[in-house]
Structure 1
């Protein structure tokens, strides 16, 4: 059974249901503070309760700091990515990684029936693949040794 975006979310704290958001008219400084406080690298940007974009630490570094702008006077909508790519829960980790690699993204919203159900990072995907590979190796070792296999998988 392939690893899916839903399984990656399920392995995250709180089942990946916690997604930090910010309004598009908020100052970038508020976005940076929220990311630092929550220990995340990106926020989903909302306008009228709909996804308007995504803003990341990289956006801040490249579109505020490097251009000599101020985070307190620049609005999130001025630096956010508006062409938000997303995946659905049943899409595989391989599909997610291919999309992120092709578009040089580090964060990917997961939409279930058009509703935001989580946000996965490249780190989440790598972690899930490592865990899956470790499980497979463990199963193979048990098979070779003739011992009962370990139950459970991501």
Structure 2
């Protein structure tokens, strides 16, 4: 079974974008738009302090009437961040994301942030694995 480490190695970019909690929501949205990502990890003194996503902005910002200009990320970020390790299986991640309604999982190894796994990464990997299996079965049926 594939692991988180396998997916991280296969990702086009290994970049993990972080900001600090004192950044304004508007600046965080600009970074998300510029980097074409749906979430940013929040670090404070080198440690993971939270995550802010487009969902956080919609639910804790816009719907509560907060201004993206005058609101700091700390006011809308999720602080109870669920993380995974590189050794965990893709199936574990899929289950965790489904059960907890998550779209992003920070990857922590020995206390250090080493990556970010998105639901898109999981879907892409799962589809590639299924395509490979189909090809193998077709070759087997054809006797190749």
TM over 0.5: yes
Deviations 1:93-148 (A, max 9, x none): 1100111112111000111222111101111101100100110111111111122x
How many residues matched? 144
Q: 1:84 aligns with which of 81, 86, 97?
A: 81
Shift of 1:72: 1.0
Runs of 4+ in structure 1 over 6 Å off: none
Deviations 1:38-90 (A, max 9, x none): 00000000111110000000100111111111011111111111011111111
Q: What are the ranges of 5 or more consecutive residues in structure 2 without an aligned counterpart?
A: none
Q: State how far apart, in whole Å, the 1-side matches of 2:139 and 2:130 are.
A: 14
Shift of 1:12: 0.9
Q: 1:41 aligns with which of 32, 38, 60?
A: 38
Aligned residue in 1 for 2:127? 130
User: Root-mean-square deviation (CA), in Å?
Assistant: 0.9
Q: How does the TM-score come out when normalised to structure 1?
A: 0.90
Q: State how far apart, in whole Å, the 1-side matches of 2:10 and 2:103 are.
A: 18
Q: What are the ranges of 5 or more consecutive residues in structure 1 without an aligned counterpart?
A: 148-154
